C-alpha cells in the first residue's frame, strides 16, 4: 500500500515590497484532487480493476463521495 501526503494550499505570501497574494484553491477542488490521487494510487492494476462490475461499483462510490463532500462543504445545513 502506498502512502502519500496531501499537498496543502500555500499560505498567502506577505512581502514588504509586494502586496500580491497566492490564490488558495477552493476546498472542494482540493478534496476532489485528493480523492482522485488516492484513486490513482490504489485502484488501477488492483484486483478491483480486473472485474468490470467491481470497478464500476467502486468508481460510482468514488464519484458519490466527491458529490457528498462538495455538498457538505458548500451547504451549511448538511453539516
CB 31 within 8 A of CB 73: yes
**What's the average model confidence in pLDDT over 11-33?**
61
pTM value > 0.75:
no
Which set of grid coordinates corresponds to residue 47?
A: 484486483
Ranking 32-41, 49-58, 69-78 by mean pLDDT, the lowest is 69-78
Give the tens place of pLDDT for each residue, 55-75: 999 999 999 999 999 888 888
Domain-wise residue ranges, the chain: 48-79
Q: Mean pLDDT of all residues in the chain? A: 77
Tell me how far CA of residue 52 lies from CA of 38, 44, 62, 78, in angstroms.
Answer: 19, 12, 15, 33
CB 13 within 8 A of CB 19: no
Amino acid at each position: 500500500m502506498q502512502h502519500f501526503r496531501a499537498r496543502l494550499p500555500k499560505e498567502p505570501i506577505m512581502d514588504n515590497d509586494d502586496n500580491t497574494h497566492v490564490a488558495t484553491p477552493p476546498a472542494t477542488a482540493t478534496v476532489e484532487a485528493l480523492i482522485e490521487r488516492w484513486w490513482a494510487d490504489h485502484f488501477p492494476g488492483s484486483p478491483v480493476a480486473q472485474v468490470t462490475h467491481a470497478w464500476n461499483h467502486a468508481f460510482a462510490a468514488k464519484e458519490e463521495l466527491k458529490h457528498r463532500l462538495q455538498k457538505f462543504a458548500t451547504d451549511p445545513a448538511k453539516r
